[in-house]
Amino acid sequence: MVIRRKYTLLLTVISSIICVVMVCFYLFSIDKVGEIYIKESKETIYNIKKDFLKDTVNNLVSEIDMKRTGKSLYMEKFVNRTCAVINLKMELSDREFCDFFIGFFNNNPDYKSITAVLWDESEKKAVYDPKNICGASWEDTVYKNSKTFTSYQTSEHGSYRFLIGVTKDYTENLVKEDIFQTIKRVQFNGSSYIWINEILDYKGGENYAVGRICTDMPENVGKYFSAGTSDVAGTFPYRTELDGINRDGELFFTYNLKDKEKGEGSKRLAYSKLYKDYNWVIGMGLYLDDLNPYLDQINRESRGMVSRLTFLLVLLLVFILGIGLGSISMIENLYHWKSKHLMESELNVDSLTGAETRRSGTKDLRQAFNKYKKLGTGPGIMMCDLDHFKYINDKYGHSVGDLVLVKFVNVSKDYLRSSDKIIRWGGDEFIIILYGMKEKAAFEFCDKYLSKIADLKVGDGNKELNVTVSVGISFFRDTDEDYTDAINRADDALYQSKKKGRNQASIIK
């Protein structure tokens, strides 16, 4: 028991050391994982912000394209409707049509966006050209200006030729103004902002670009920029932006500006893209300092998660340690119980015959007697002794004698009920406890039992031995002080059977 306690204590100490080492390794690992997690989270948030900037600018570019398409279609319809109105006056005379045409465009401010020309082919000159676009001939006029219109139509009335259209410049200016108003109305999340600079010289230098809109710094609208201008950190963001635009048409870059509220340098992330048709650089930026609250929150959540996981790990290790020690203890107890049970089995079962030993049989007899004292009912106690067993041993040897004993017990077990007990009391003497045996049925039972044993043959077929047994039976009495009183009477009855000539049964009640 002392050795077992020392072994359990040693195992507990070793397991505890292993658990402590595992916890330390876990804490070290989780700290490193936390650093990687924070780093990866920072990169992830940084990439999300970059995607946000790029997607917003690309959406704005897509919106410009849609607005240009929409304006072009609108202008085409507007020119078609205007031309249809003019065509309604085709029944007028040349003089009347000329007066109508000039008066229509001079007196209708709704058509100020229209570029209108009236050409007198007979005089070979323009009679109405407020924007001075005519050439030396009508064909020259149409050819020279056709590419400048978003949409136009030409027609004729007698000797007059006329052109009605909307210029691309006018249409594009409408689109630009619409875009500017759209950007001004947009509310961006956090401290993000957008700007549009128009490039005047792709080579850079002084006044290479002019500001068209800037939601963060409205004072930059109309301001000219130099590629050699540095920020508060001494870098040259305009040069960096122009180089990237010239090289790839777009870029991400960082620069530093003085924060108006904090009065100190603030690092910013920006994305710029060239819209070539307008020579616009459309850019969007945000303050990188805005990432810190996200990272702080992630750090707090990460540490909180680590604390919870550490606590759960410790509980798990304690649980596993407890289960392990409990399992070891249970296995030891089970092994001890099995060993004890095996030892008791070896002590309680005769190794030769398989009958119960006298030690085990004594317990059964004592229990049966105690039950008799309480309930008044008890078993029959039958004592058996093999006839001439000493002669068999002397003549044929102990091996044959042992075989006779084994055969006798096996035949007896086959005849007896499973609840009955057969006990090797000593040598060739056996006691059988017949539970529930009635005194009046004892003789009949014994006769059948004797016949069963008498049929037993021991040998190899050439030479067989007949085995018989003498039996004495008794029952508990109220006057008995112990089970041994009934054993003694059964022994006396057995002696009577021997005296009568063996292979007989006698009863002493």
Q: What is the pLDDT of residues 484-494, one digit of tens each?
A: 999 999 999 99
Q: What is the pLDDT of residue 425?
A: 94
pLDDT band with cut points at 50, 70 and 90 for residue 48 = confident
* Amino acid, single-letter form, for residue 194: I
What SS3 state is found at 98?
Answer: helix
Q: Work out the mean pLDDT of the chain and round it to a whole number.
A: 86
Which tens digit of pLDDT belongs to each residue from 337-387?
776 666 666 678 998 999 999 999 999 999 999 999 999 889 999 999 999
Q: What is the pLDDT of residue 321?
A: 72
CB atoms within 10 A of CB 492: 14
Q: What is the pLDDT of residue 29?
A: 61
As to burial, measured by CB atoms within 10 angstroms (0-12 exposed, 13-18 middle, 19+ buried), residue 351 is exposed
Q: Which residues pair with 53 in a beta bridge?
A: none
- φ/ψ of 176, rounded to 5, equals -60, -45
Instruction: Tell me, yes or no, if the two domains 188-292 and 358-508 fold the same way.
Output: no
Distance of alpha carbon 241 from alpha carbon 282, whole angstroms = 11
For 358-508, give the CATH class: alpha beta
- φ/ψ of 122, rounded to 5, equals -70, -35
The answer to whether the CB of 405 falls within 8 A of the CB of 446 is: no
CATH fold group of domain 188-292: Beta-Lactamase (3.30.450)
Q: What is the pLDDT of residue 189?
A: 64
- pLDDT above 60 for 4: no
Average pLDDT score over residue span 192-213: 93
Higher pLDDT, 240 or 35: 240
Domain boundaries, the chain: 89-170, 188-292, 358-508
Which tens digit of pLDDT belongs to each residue from 273-301?
999 999 999 999 988 776 666 666 766 76
Distance of alpha carbon 271 from alpha carbon 194, whole angstroms = 10
**H/E element holding 224?**
strand 224-225
Residues 6+ apart with CB under 8 A from 488: none
Q: What is the pLDDT of residue 104?
A: 93
Which tens digit of pLDDT belongs to each residue from 306-319?
677 777 777 887 78
What SS3 state is found at 460?
Answer: coil
Model pTM score:
0.54
Higher pLDDT, 491 or 191: 491
Distance of alpha carbon 235 from alpha carbon 254, whole angstroms = 10
Q: Two tokens at 506? A: 């006698």
Average pLDDT score over residue span 174-185: 89
Counting DSSP H helices and E strands in the chain, the numbers are 11, 17
**H/E element holding 464?**
strand 464-466
